[in-house]
A and B are shown apart, each in its own frame.
Chain A
Amino acid sequence: MITLKRNAVALMVSAVLVSTAVQAQVGAPEKEELKLGFIKLTDMAPLAVAYEKGYFEDEGLYVTLEAQANWKVLLDRVITGELDGAHMLAGQPLGATAGVGTKADVVTAFSMDLNGNATTVSNKIWEAMKANVPAGADGKPVHPIKADALKPVVQSYKDQGKAFNMGMVFPVSTHNYELRYWLAAGGLNPGFYAPLKGDNTGQQQADVLLSVTPPPQMPATLEAGTILGYSVGEPWNQAAVFKGIGVPVVTDAEIWHNNPEKVFGVAQSWAEKYPNTHVHLVKALIRAAYWLDQDNNANRQEAVNLLAKPEYVGADAKVIANSMTGTFEFEKGDKRPAADFNIFFRHHATYPYYSDAIWYLTQMRRWGQIPEAKPDSWYADLAKKVYKPEVYRQAAEELIAEGKMKVSDFPDFAKETGYKSPDNKFIDGITYDGHKPNDYLKQFPIGLKGDQKL
């Protein structure tokens, strides 16, 4: 009898909780005029769409979008408060919070996309690589192309005493880790960072020297011969193809299928000061991401035309369309279907998974940016500090209550742990389990693990 009563009470309490959760409306935004930064890349699309489709205004927000010169300027401006938030590399909030490069608390409640990058090499390097790439029945090179094909080319450079330089966009960028992952999977050492010795070039013991170049300058730098290849987001790989100066050899979806890419980052102090504004922003961005993938990418051509405007990406529409509308052009004329080249909403792309955050942290540890061993709990705690699924959930529930989205569009929040199940869709077939970052690191032949230090 007593237990029955207690159960009833529990039921009533939970019923009240559930109903308040649905009814609890997010209050008006504390700050209505916002300035958000972005880099000229196609994956800034959710911001442009939320602006042009009026999703920001629907949330009572007056947003100004402003292109930034490079990732460093963008991050600094978010930290100093000149920008309210920005399109960011997933590694930026994590790196800043962990103290890699900059030390500042930056958080994210919205993941902007999956995939979307590629690695391009100059025509000359491609000619040399091509000899090592098997051809399929149609005479075209078999994909994915592994860095094994690049290894002899790098060796010939080494034998001549010449450096093999490649570009990536920022020390904690997805591109840096992708390029390193690809190179290391092919037996090439991309070099280590040694911050304890004050060396932040990331070129210790390196076979291939990686350095920072802002995304829009990649083709020009490749053309100038300063770098022989680069890893960057779109449209800067397709731009190399159109200009006839380089050949994309591998996409990030081939290195790690459906890898998390950019996030929408804000300063932690900003998020604490303007909690409602934050939820409203995420609401608008969720709707924009949904629109981008809606009805099997039906809106992509419209998105391309939007992005081609000079105030957003500004590149020619046909260049942007190449990757945004389900194809990707490798060697000139070798256009292949790539339906998943850039995912904005499918597969819960916008949900901030802790396991995604932890993957980035493992790569920071692997290449020495985190110079000393950390227990698994440290990885989990830092991910929790930076990734804010609770804000995302609030935004999603609001959208469901308003009838703008369906429950089925989102993960099952009641059961969601924030950890994706172990995944082995990597180019080297190694399995990643977000619960065991240290065990994950042990599997790599090249890279720091355990107590290793430089």
Chain B
Amino acid sequence: MSALLNIKWQNMAFPFVGLLAFLFFWQIAASQVTTTLGSLPGPVATAQQFMGLVDEHEAEQDKKTAFYQRQEQRNADKLKADPDFKVTVRPYTGRPTFFDQITTSLITVATGFLVASLIAIPMGIILGLNQWMYQALNPVIQILKPISPLAWLPLVTMVVSAVYSSDNPLVAKSFINSAFTVTLCSLWPTLLNTTVGVANIDPDLKNVSRVLKLDPLTHVRKIVLPSAIPMIFTGLRLSLGVAWMVLIAAEMLAQNPGLGKFVWDEFQNGSAQSLARIMVAVVTIGIIGFMLDRGMLQLQKWFSWDKRSELR
């Protein structure tokens, strides 16, 4: 019993000490760096600025309510003047707040990552099962893999502009640009890990499948997937990490809505508060990245056939 308590205590204490040391170091280091916008914000200034962003968000919500009330009034007046008037409610035109930008980024990364996974996992299984296909496609994959999102972005932007043109688009072009860039860059870890995982299935299991004369689909479902799952998830976790990093870069470069644009706008503002606001965004990006990875791990625990293996 006391041993158990000990472990729990340690589990809590060490991360706590680590974080505290980090915050301390941050506070000391930040005050040493002086920029033309004042010294670098430490944890305290960053926390204060976060509260400021919360206040701004609330103020914006009030403005939004007022906007809809005004619109309702205007539409009612029009309806009174012309009974045939067709009322359309226009969405709020105000600026996105920090929290709106977080939501946008999360939706974008989810879309891009989902599309990437839907391509990478089936393709990885095929490449893992078929040696010839693997040899044919491997060079292409190796060349495409290291391309930076910043190099893809101009191409993606031009292609999307050319292909996706409609007067009343269902989703914004900027969203497609960001999501597509995320897909292109986050595809590879999942693809390669799935391929390796599938290729390295225990020969005994393959023999079992052969003896039982399993049809190809059942073979994949009963033999390949369960044994490749750990590798697939390793790939997915790497991909998700890449996806999140790529998204922020893409948003910054292309001015697409999201946390990246928030950072860039603040950099351009160059006010006394800008650095602290960028710091809030940086910390947020880190925490969200961490939570995404934890979420994926949870998913893996839930999916994994072998519940005894230690996951970290």
Contact = CB atoms under 8 A, between A and B. Distances in A.
B277 A245 contact: no
A62 B266 contact: no
A124 B286 CA distance: 40
Contacts of A319: 271
Nearest to A70: B255
Contact of A313 (B37, B91, B269): B269
A316 B272 contact: yes
Nearest to A40: B268
Given A62-B90, A82-B173, A310-B277, A245 B269 contact: no
Contacts of A32: 88, 90
Given A62-B90, A82-B173, A68 B255 contact: yes
A319 B70 CA distance: 34
B274 interface: yes
A434 B299 CA distance: 71
B270 interface: yes
A243 B36 contact: yes
A219 B273 CA distance: 17
B74 interface: yes
A217 B264 CA distance: 11
Contact of B161 (A60, A64, A69, A80): A80
Interface string A34-65: 00000010000000000100100100101111
A316 B271 contact: yes
A276 to B, nearest CB: 16
Interface string A71-96: 00100000010100000000000000
Interface string A298-322: 0000000000101101111001000
A223 interface: yes
Interface in B236-270: 255, 264-270
Given A33-B90, A65-B95, A68-B255, A216 B36 contact: no
A49 to B, nearest CB: 15
A314 B272 contact: no
B145 to A, nearest CB: 28
Contacts, number: 67
B43 to A, nearest CB: 22
Contact of A314 (B88, B173, B268): B268
B93 interface: yes
Contacts of B277: 310
A409 to B, nearest CB: 26
A311 to B, nearest CB: 4
A395 interface: no
A63 B269 contact: no
Nearest to A316: B271
B268 A67 contact: yes
A172 interface: no
Nearest to A314: B269
Contacts of B265: 67, 310-311, 314
Contacts of B36: 219, 223, 243-245
Interface in B52-89: 70-71, 74, 88
B274 A314 contact: yes
Interface in B283-308: none
A219 B270 contact: yes
A216 B268 contact: yes
Interface residues of A, number: 34
Most A CB contacts (10 A, CB to CB) among B266, B270, B274 go to: B270
Contacts of A228: none
A287 B121 CA distance: 58
Nearest to B257: A66
Interface string B93-118: 11100000000000000000000000
Contact of A310 (B91, B161, B255, B266): B266
A364 interface: no
Most A CB contacts (10 A, CB to CB) among B37, B173, B269 go to: B269
A347 B173 CA distance: 41
Contacts of A310: 265-266, 269, 271, 273, 277
A314 B90 contact: no
A219 B269 CA distance: 12
Contacts of A245: 36
A243 B270 CA distance: 10
Nearest to A73: B255
B255 A69 contact: yes
A315 B91 CA distance: 28
B270 A62 contact: no
A327 to B, nearest CB: 20
B139 to A, nearest CB: 36
Interface string A184-203: 00000000000000000000
Contacts of A313: 269
A308 B273 CA distance: 11
A239 interface: yes
A33 to B, nearest CB: 6
A64 B93 CA distance: 5
A315 B264 contact: no
Contacts of B272: 316
A57 to B, nearest CB: 6
A450 B88 CA distance: 57
A73 B157 CA distance: 12
Nearest to B264: A69
A119 B298 CA distance: 58
Nearest to B272: A316
B24 to A, nearest CB: 30
A310 B277 CA distance: 10
A68 B261 CA distance: 10
Given A62-B93, A239-B270, 8 more contacts: A33-B91, A33-B93, A57-B74, A65-B95, A80-B161, A243-B37, A308-B271, A314-B265
Interface of A: 32-33, 40, 51, 54, 57, 60, 62-65, 67-69, 73, 80, 82, 216-217, 219-220, 223, 239, 243-245, 308, 310-311, 313-316, 319
Interface of B: 36-37, 70-71, 74, 88, 90-91, 93-95, 161, 173, 255, 264-274, 277
Question: Which A-B residue pairs are the 9 nearest by beta carbons?
Answer: A314-B269, A216-B268, A243-B36, A311-B95, A62-B90, A64-B93, A316-B271, A69-B255, A62-B93
27 contacts: A33-B93, A40-B268, A54-B70, A57-B71, A57-B74, A60-B74, A62-B71, A62-B90, A67-B265, A73-B255, A80-B161, A216-B268, A217-B268, A219-B36, A239-B270, A243-B37, A308-B271, A310-B277, A313-B269, A314-B265, A314-B266, A314-B268, A314-B271, A315-B269, A315-B271, A316-B272, A319-B271
